[in-house]
Structure 1
Amino acid sequence: MTAAALEVEGVRLRVGEVGVSEFALDLPILRLQPGERIAVVGPSGCGKSMLLEFLALLMRPERVDRFVLATADDDRRDLAGDIAAGRIDALAHLRAGPLGYVPQSGGVLPFLTARAHASSGLRLAGHAGNPVARARFDRLAERLGVGAHLDKTREQLSGGQRKRVALLAGMSVPRRVLLADEPTTGLDAASGTAVMELLSRLAADEGTAVLIATHDADTAYRAGFAVRPLEHGAFWHEALQVVF
């Protein structure tokens, strides 16, 4: 069997005040294979964003037994020790390479052009001068419908264009794992479909494991995502099986 792109076990996430506004999410096991496409669905407040923030190394869990990320073909790192100890800042560099994350509120920084914002991943990964990487970036920009808008500032972009620029930033370099929180929010139906299809194509063409949180289950399913519910405070994904 191909080694997993991401393998997480024994996780408990908790936010809020115990006994008052407490919310807990259990993640017994999650394995994402290269090229796998998973759409996590569920009602607002069920923990979808919290799940993605944890997987994006932005949240310290109450417990984590394993967090193994493929950082290269022959390198798989167990980050559980650093995560459990709260050394999450030391892992931030991984979001510039193998682990991509597009937050729900992702947009364009006010002091950058759309191009500068979206291509920041290329610079951080040392690919800014690589013609192959630049050509890939330009192709993605065109497929997202923002190729003609990259020299604009945030104020010159519509809300939907800002969303697509944020997605371009997340896709700007090839990833082992790409996480996207509500990638179609604020987009019209045609743009939402195009975004879902592009995320699916990245998985198929580049072997990226793509995990999204979405309310748009139908569009995700049509684009080839396996739709999995998150409810009752637990999510368990193993070989495309969900158990509560």
Structure 2
Amino acid sequence: MSNSILQLKDIHRHFFQGGEDLHILKGVNLEVRASETVSLVGASGAGKSTLLHITGLLEKADKGDVIIDGVSCNGLSDIRRTRIRRNDIGFVYQFHHLLPEFTALENVVMPQMIAGVGRKKSRERAEELLGKMGLSERLTHRPSQLSGGEQQRVAIARALANRPRLLLADEPTGNLDEATGTEVLRILLDLAREEGTAALLATHNNEFAKKTGRCVILKDGTLHDS
């Protein structure tokens, strides 16, 4: 479909561990459209992070294809995969991974400048996103001067800075208390919809999963509708 941003087709992944062949993903199929938010739930060890790594082109599947905004990534060179990760995919992790020596503003400006955006436009975009996050008064603060919820909001702004077509989040509220996590999730989902970004979020929190537009469950190596 024309507004399909992500397609996972027959994704397989296995690992050898302790003399065993562990088949973690056994033919995963998924489609996520522009502005759609999908939660990925499953038991610990089910393979949620592995699936996100493959979707984000950080890891290669043993079989199957990842199609991002119409581009088949299966046979791409490492350089092309890196370019897609940089320009078309935004990542949010459980831990914010902000650069401690830089301010909130600089943390959101930097990925834009790496992508070739000029300093003025990068700053304007960073200020816009951080403003939507309620952080206009915290632009010059370094991560150590921000609360956990504020740091994660900066991380979300950084992930959206280059207007990615796809946002991937791995337990984005897992390191926050429930009230803060609820607020951070609301902001993340609202911004993804506003930006027209397809979003896939791995979470162990069933209440948070209900707040997304759709929920899929990873069980026994395949995806099932909630």
Q: Name the TM-score class by shorter chain.
A: 0.7 to 0.9
| Cα displacement (A) at 1:43 | 1.8
Alpha-carbon separation, structure 1, partners of 2:38 and 2:155? 20
> Structure 1 stretches of 5 or more lacking a match?
71-75
- SS at the partner of 1:12? strand
* Aligned residue number for residue 225 of structure 1: 213
Distance 1:107 1:161 in 2: 13
Q: Does 1:77 align with 2:54?
A: no
> Secondary structure in 2 aligned to 1:6?
strand
| Aligned counterpart, 1:54 | 54
Say if 2:41 and 2:209, in contact at 8 Å, map to a contact too: no
CA apart distance, 1:37: 0.8
For residue 98 of structure 1, the aligned residue among 72, 78, 88 is: 88
Unaligned stretches of 5+ in structure 2? none
Q: What is the letter of the counterpart of residue 220 of structure 2?
A: H
Contact 1:42 1:231 in 2 (8 A): yes
Match of 1:73 in 2: none
- Structure number with higher strand proportion: 2
Q: Which residue of 1 aligns with 2:196?
A: 207
Partner of 2:30: 30
RMSD (Å), alpha carbons: 2.5
What is the percent sequence identity of the aligned residues? 31
Aligned with residue 113 of structure 2, among 85, 100, 123: 123
CA distance in 2, matches of 1:167, 1:114: 11
Say how many residue pairs are matched.
Answer: 226
Maintained 8 Å contact 2:169/2:201? yes
Report the Cα distance in structure 2 between the residues aligned to 1:168 and 1:130, rounded to whole angstroms.
17
- How far apart are the structure 1 equivalents of 2:139 and 2:87? 22
Give the C-alpha shift of residue 18 in structure 1: 6.7
Residue 150 (structure 2) aligns with = 161
User: Structure 2 vs 1, CA of residues 153 and 206 (structure 1 numbering), >3 Å: closer, same or farther?
Assistant: closer
Structure 2: distance between partners of 1:146 and 1:49: 29
Distance in 2 of aligned mates of 1:178 and 1:229: 18
Q: What TM-score results when the alignment is normalised by the length of structure 2?
A: 0.85
Kindly indicate whether the alpha-carbon contact (under 8 Å) linking 1:199 and 1:210 is maintained by their aligned counterparts in 2: no
Which of 90, 111, 136 is residue 147 of structure 1 equivalent to? 136
Q: Residue in 2 aligned with 1:195?
A: 184
> Quick one: structure 1 residues 16 and 202, their matched pair in 2 at CA, closer, same or farther if it must change by over 3 Å?
farther
Q: 1:139 to 1:27 in 2, by over 3 A?
A: farther
Deviations 1:74-93 (A, max 9, x none): xx3211112xxxx4454112
| C-alpha contact 1:57 1:88 (8 A) present in aligned 2 | no
**Amino acid in the other structure paired with 1:81:** G
Deviations 1:88-144 (A, max 9, x none): 45411222211111233332123333322222222133334455x644432331343
